[in-house]
Amino acid sequence: MKHLMMIVSCIFPLAACSGGDEKKAVMETSSEKPADPADKVVKTDEEWKKLLTPEQYRILRNAGTEAPNGAVYKEFKKQGAGTYHCAGCGALLFSSKEKFDSGCGWPSFYDPAKAENVKTKKDLSLGMMRIEVTCAKCDGHLGHVFEGEGFNTPTDKRYCINGVGLKFVPAKEEKPVKESAP
């Protein structure tokens, strides 16, 4: 039954997809870590439209869903150590330490890296009860969280996140300190 629930929770979000242009749907990557906003980020729709790509706007501002197993997900699976920030406001959301492969076709994490930047609320859309995940700083829609699916993770939660709403910052490689000769 748990596996059936996982399959259903992976398939139903497809009904929310509006067929965005996959070539434009790319997870941003930056070598510079964005500043974590101290306060709530409030912008007009016009300001958001100037800041975000059309696909990011559709997902973050209109609670859309990207297609599963797309280019963004394939890119996510290849990413190594680093952090994931909100593509809208730069808030730290997740890290590669909490990342896992759930097999559902969307980026998955078992816990946020910075819990105060992630909030959840009931979502009764599509005729079912789910828990929506949003950025606590800008209220951008990130995805949904599912519990009790039997994943071998510390929390048995799956934060199923739209990758286009994330900005990946690779961990900086630390260079070993050279010891001086005596």
Domain ranges of the chain: 2-170
β 28-29/166-170 pair status: parallel
Active-site residue, 86 included: no
Q: Name which CATH class applies to 2-170.
A: mainly beta
Cβ pair 85, 32 in contact under 8 A? no
Contact 72, 55 (CB under 8 A): no
Burial label for 45, CB within 10 Å (0-12, 13-18, 19+), is: exposed
- What's residue 23's pLDDT? 39
Per-residue pLDDT tens over the stretch 74-110: 999 999 999 999 999 999 999 999 999 999 999 999 9
- Amino acid, single-letter form, for residue 75: E
Q: How confident is the model at residue 26 (pLDDT cuts 50, 70, 90)?
A: low
Rama region for 46: left / alpha / beta (φ>0; ψ in -120 to 50; rest) = alpha
Q: Are 141 and 132 in contact (CB under 8 A)?
A: yes
DSSP state of 69: T
**Catalytic residue chosen out of the listed positions 10, 86, 135, 160:** 160
pLDDT, tens digit (0-9, with 9 covering 90-100), for 32-68: 667 778 889 999 999 999 999 999 999 999 999 999 9
> Of residues 24 and 53, which shows the higher confidence score?
53
Give the separation between CA 40 and CA 137, rounded to whole angstroms: 5
Q: Where are the alpha helices (DSSP H) in 1-90?
A: 2-11, 45-51, 54-60, 71-78
